[in-house]
Structure 1
């Protein structure tokens, strides 16, 4: 899961928790606001009746004090305005058949669901009535009793909660959207870092990164840049070392070829001459048959050793591209394999592009790759047809493509993972030349392809 989505999901979880907490707080506050409205209504009505009580006491002193309040005009519209919706007020002691004076309760709030109407009183309890004296200095003036309407209180609380939730949802959506944009903007430089790492994996080690404002991302960018520089230096050192090792190996090949030619070749020639002399001299003696047979066996063994030595010398001596050029050396290589036996598979050579000016390391590497791939296809597979294709791709990507395909079957994955000296050697040569090597499955066999950049 992407990091941006993870952070947004966590943010939404936090917003949901905050929204739940806000809903619980809104429920408690709305439900208890009815108690505050009840107390305020009782206080306002008591204050109004106190003024009425003292006015009647001063203007009608002849009346009994217990008959001063309530007077006929206390249940007026002005008194109704002092009572909050959903609250009923009654004067004590009340007159006979006197009903409480209630505020407007019809159409207050929204009808709550049953679960809310039963759940809220269970956890928050019921509303208590509020008693206020008409006059603290005159106990005989009576008291005001305010009682909230339970159904109206729950309806008001439900409406308040809905309003709060609507606002909270809008704020949560806005916060989530803006925070998501901010997180995506803050993490956008991570794509540049990932792209740089992917380029480094493909061999482009020096990949410049933009300057990041965030200190953490700037540190990561600097670390990636330093890593790329060190990888490039290590690659250059490894390439130089590989080239040097190949040069040393070629020098050893040439030295070994000279030793084999000078020592083994001369000694074998001498053995062959001695065997011929023995065979010629034995024809004049009595036991000529046995001696002649031994001499012929020595001669045959010597011829076989000399043929093997010639093949070894061909592989060890200076590469033919240095002497004949790449195109002629490849033709000579294919002709030498064709001439060894009539039972050899068909070898098709396909040359494309201008190969005349290709020399040096590129030509030597191409020749060695073709030589090793042909050797493996001829000796380690039951191929009937082998196709050797050499193509020069001109233009901006000036490179040489060597592809060897056969129809002898084989497991491409197993061959690619092989640690044989021949395959390891061509890998080293291609890498030293700055190229790439791939092994894949062909139509009915294997395909080995090497790309050597000529610009390098």
Structure 2
């Protein structure tokens, strides 16, 4: 999952938790606001009745009269204004058949759902009535009892929640949108870092990154740049070391070829001469003891050894590209394989582009790759047709492409993981030349492709 989506998801989760907390707080606050409204209504009505009590007491000019009650006119419109909606107030001791004086409750808030009306009282409890004395100094003046309407309280709480939720949802959506845009903008430079790492994976180690404003991204960019520099230096050192090892190996091969030619070649020639002499002498003496036949067998074995030695010397001596050029050496390589046996599979040679000016290590590497791939296809597979294609890609990507395909079956993954000497050798040569090697499945067989940059 992308980091931007993860951060946005976490942000939405935090917003949802905050929204839930705000909903719980709004429910509690709205539900308990009825208790505060009940207490305030009782206090206001008590103060109004206290003023009425003392006014009546003064008019009657009798301070000692007991159970002096306010006149029934206390149930007036002015008193109604002092009572909050959803609260009922009564005066005690009450007159017979007297009903509580209630504030306006019809149309108060929206009708809450049943689950809300049943859950809220369970968790937040019920509302208590509020009792206030009309006069603290005269207990006989009576008391004011304010009782909240439970249904009205729940309706008020539900309406308050709906109002708060609307605003909260709008703010949450705005916060989530703006924060998501801010997060996406902040993490946008990460794409440049990923692109640089991908280019480094393809071999372009010196990838310049833009300057980042964020300190953390700037540190990552600096680390990526330093890593690319060190990778390029290590690659150059490894390529130089590989080229040197290849040069040493080629020198050793040439030295071994000289030793084989000088020592084994002369000894084999001497053995062949001795065998011919023995055979000639035996023929002149007309002897029937089988010496002539043994001499002929020695001559045949010597000829076979000399042919094998010549093949070994061809592989050990300097490659043909240094003498004939790349194009002629490839033609000679294919012709030599074709001429060895008529039962060999068909080898098709496809040369494209201008190959005349390709020389040096690039030509040698291309020849060795083609030679090794043809050898593996002919010796280790049951191919009926082998295709060798050498193409020069001109332009900005001046490179040489060598591709060998066969229909002899084979597992591309197993061959790619192989640590054989021949495949390891061409890998080293291609890497030293700054190129790349790939082994992929083809129609009925394998496809080995090497790319050698000529600019390097």
Q: TM-score range by the shorter chain?
A: over 0.9
Shift of 1:279: 1.1
- The aligned counterpart of 2:267 is 267
Between the aligned partners of 1:338 and 1:121, the Cα distance in structure 2 is 98
- The aligned counterpart of 1:432 is 432
Between the aligned partners of 1:120 and 1:444, the Cα distance in structure 2 is 75
Between the aligned partners of 1:370 and 1:62, the Cα distance in structure 2 is 131
- The aligned counterpart of 1:347 is 347
Matches within 5 A, 1:132-151: 132-151=132-151
Between the aligned partners of 1:190 and 1:314, the Cα distance in structure 2 is 55
Contact (CA 8 Å) 1:434, 1:453: kept in 2 or not? yes
Between the aligned partners of 2:337 and 2:192, the Cα distance in structure 1 is 52
- The aligned counterpart of 1:411 is 411
- The aligned counterpart of 1:232 is 232
Deviations 1:112-163 (A, max 9, x none): 2222222222232222221212222222222212111121112111211222
Between the aligned partners of 1:261 and 1:375, the Cα distance in structure 2 is 23
Matches within 5 A, 1:98-247: 98-247=98-247
5+ long unaligned stretches in structure 1: none
Between the aligned partners of 1:63 and 1:429, the Cα distance in structure 2 is 123
1:53 aligns with 2:44: no
- The aligned counterpart of 1:331 is 331
Deviations 1:222-257 (A, max 9, x none): 222221111111110110011111111111111111
Bigger Cα displacement from structure 2, 170-179 vs 266-275: 170-179
Contact (CA 8 Å) 1:87, 1:148: kept in 2 or not? yes
Deviations 1:197-244 (A, max 9, x none): 211111111112222233322222222222111111111011001111
Which secondary structure state, in structure 2, belongs to the residue aligned with residue 283 of structure 1? helix
Bigger Cα displacement from structure 2, 162-171 vs 286-295: 286-295
Between the aligned partners of 2:126 and 2:92, the Cα distance in structure 1 is 23
TM normalised by structure 1 equals 0.95
Between the aligned partners of 2:325 and 2:289, the Cα distance in structure 1 is 51
TM normalised by structure 2 equals 0.95
Which secondary structure state, in structure 1, belongs to the residue aligned with residue 73 of structure 2? coil
Shift of 1:63: 9.6
- The aligned counterpart of 1:446 is 446
Bigger Cα displacement from structure 2, 108-117 vs 232-241: 108-117
Between the aligned partners of 1:116 and 1:404, the Cα distance in structure 2 is 77
Contact (CA 8 Å) 2:67, 2:140: kept in 1 or not? no
Greater than 6 Å deviation, 4+ residue runs = none
Bigger Cα displacement from structure 2, 198-207 vs 167-176: 167-176
1:70 aligns with 2:52: no
Shift of 1:178: 2.2
Contact (CA 8 Å) 1:283, 1:289: kept in 2 or not? no
Contact (CA 8 Å) 1:321, 1:329: kept in 2 or not? yes
Matches within 5 A, 1:266-345: 266-285=266-285, 287-345=287-345
Between the aligned partners of 1:395 and 1:211, the Cα distance in structure 2 is 32
- The aligned counterpart of 2:36 is 36
Which secondary structure state, in structure 2, belongs to the residue aligned with residue 438 of structure 1? strand
Between the aligned partners of 2:158 and 2:378, the Cα distance in structure 1 is 89
5+ long unaligned stretches in structure 2: none
Alignment CA distance shift 1:62-1:335 (3 Å): closer
Shift of 1:420: 1.1
